Structure 1
Amino acid sequence: MSGEPGARRRRLRELLVDTAPLRQSPAFAKLWTGTSIAQIGAQVTIVAVGLHVYELTHSTFAVSLVALWALGPMILAGFVGGALADVFDRRLVALVTAVAAWLSIGTMTVIAFLGVEATWPYYALAAINAASATIMGATRGAIIPRLLPTQLLPAAAALSGITMGAAITVGPAVAGVLVASVGVPWTYLLDAVLFTGAFLGILSLPRMRPDGERRSAGLGSVLESLRFLKRAPNVRATFVWDLIAMTLGTPRVVFPAAGALVLGGGPVTVGALTAAFAIGSLLSGLFSGPLGGVRRQGRAVTLAIAVFGACTALFGAVLLVTGLTDAPRDADTPLIPAIVLAGLALAGTGAADNVSAVFRTTILQAAAPDDVRGRMQGLFYVVVAGGPRVGDLIAGALATLLALWAPALIGGILILGIMLILLRTARGFQRYDAHAPTP
């Protein structure tokens, strides 16, 4: 009997996220800590910029232009930044782009305190910040496999998932409170202060030149990476699978209308639905211990995205069924049972998406050779930035042409069906072995 509590504690430890990367690599621990602090600030600014632009223009379209202005520079930065990370000292690349990102936030803070009301400086500075963050993130992704053994990469990816889940959960809430209480300029200032955490991790790194022969960072380097991708089916599959999920399973554009017309509760419901996804991601990261023991990581990616599709379809089904009822559907009358079900479905999508991201990141970091790893990480950021935005366009079109439930229900069913087909047909990726990673 006395051994039972000890056995339960061991089982709980095995279930919780593996913190071995933090213990075994002080450099990774500092990089992770600094990134965690900086990402909270980044989420604060993302929300603050939107609120600030709306305050200046009273236009939802003007708010959407913040992301549109940033998309092109982010995509370009993904390609160029990855090439830079495969040519120059990665510590130096990360440090220079961190300085650029910090200066963009600092400038935004200054002009906000000065009362500048033209929107274009905020668009431009947000785009510079997004591009810098993309290069810094791609470089960081290429650095981590040099700090840790391959078997700890899933745990490192899970820890990064916790960081992002926490940032998405905490950052927007902090931004809303600060903008309402002390104003936009002070909210920007908080990000400028928190972003200094990024320097903590980067400055502690050793010099880290890429392996292999020296090359240029021009167009030829980018084309070389695309040729590598053509002959690397497992790495390529991580991008294709994610694009399928993100383009078909991104119903976030219907949240405002769902809160106003179907579920009730207005902005509060929209906030709850958005938070549900982040909470699911965070919880799956906290209980990610068993993921480190999975060998068939390609199969795990496929199954995780299938679950993502099923949960997305469930969210659409909640909207469909709720819309067919005669219950009140105004912004002041939230339908609590429907909101809870919708939130649980979105929490499931967040959890499944995080599990998929853990294995996709691990495959990319373990299978791609070091001399091309920066460019693959850059392409990863291009997919992450572009996929959801294409998904927003698809979801908006389906919602306009059919109904609010259509993007999630139809997209989720398509994702689930495609993944079930790929389980049978993409046999090479399903057999990918974490103990013998091959691109």
Structure 2
Amino acid sequence: MTASALPIGPLTPDTVPPHLVVDFDVYRPATDAESFHQAYIDFQAATPHPLVWTHRNGGHWIAVRGEDVYALYADHERFSSRHYFVPATPDQGALGAFTLDPPQHAPFRAFLNEGLSAKVVGAKLPRVRQLAVDLADDLAGRQGCNFTTDFADALALTMFLDMVDLPFSDREHLSALVEIAARDPDASQRIAGLHQIADYLLPHIHQRRAEPGDDLLSRAVNADIDGRPITLEESLGAAIHLLGAGLDTVSSLFSFSMLYLARDPALRRALVDHPDRIPAAATELIRRFPVVVMARQVRADMDYLGVPLRQGEMVAIPTAFYNLDATVYDRPLVLDWDRRAGKVLSFGNGPHRCPGSTLGRQELIIGLQEWLKRIPDFSVAPGARIEVAGGTVAKVLGLPLVWGRSAS
């Protein structure tokens, strides 16, 4: 991994200036969770250009400066959301609002906004809290756990399955499919993962179209699209979007957050002693641990930031390049409970901003509140190496925490 210029190769168009060619994998800057975000900062600091080209992942541009990344997320007039990962793959298929641009995406977004409104989310919060209480109570009696699977995944995935009324017994199976679709290094395997998700969803879609309920999946597959019923193909894309977006981001963010708190007893103690600070701390954690890398496709030939872009080329836009940009936030890697985080890119920006961000933030707040009440002192298991799998959503593969006698 380097920001220095590289020789032009077969995955580099002849329109790319040679000095802009770098070797950097936006999905896998590091495999160790504790250096994962530092790797983004190191690359950003070593790269003097706002746009660079890498041969990784089929060849694509990378927007490097925070404010440019933030703007690109919302610039649907020049950059399309048609392909959400690199490289662009023809058989990705439609994924509802996720891969539609305005104005076409508006009716596909409407039922998500309604199903994840503040009123709907508010009604679900007692369920979130009871689940967090049950999980934390069970774990407190032990001396350790794998936080990723035993708490973060269990909380976020169970709540998502509750929102879409899918069987809780399918949690592990669906999680495995999303793992492939979001993080497999091979783009063809990511597509295969999406197809397997479609195979799982189709029977449920047919059932909800025949007998709709009040759940979010029923809303998606029975939506009104500009005065006409949503088609089966469109409803499948919308359902895949729901599943892919709902099963991953919060759990990933939560595990990164707890890894940091396990390493910093004083910072953790500030929340234990002052639980009223947890809601503000959640905003800072969301800023500090961005896990998403989206992509955009150039709509037409143009010069952008002094660089010639050609129609169809892809641009990767890691959220870390905004949230952790030192020109946007002072000392970006430091968690500061008093920081006033304004704009944060963790849940996106513009028309495609994640409609589930309110629920995700509340899950993090409530999860922290109930965990810290019951397990205030914990640490990473001695000798553990915490690995991370990169992708469109980076994920801590396992976080072994210990407390009580096991921590001594």
Question: Normalising to structure 1: TM-score of the pair?
Answer: 0.27
Larger relative helix fraction:
1
Larger relative strand fraction:
2
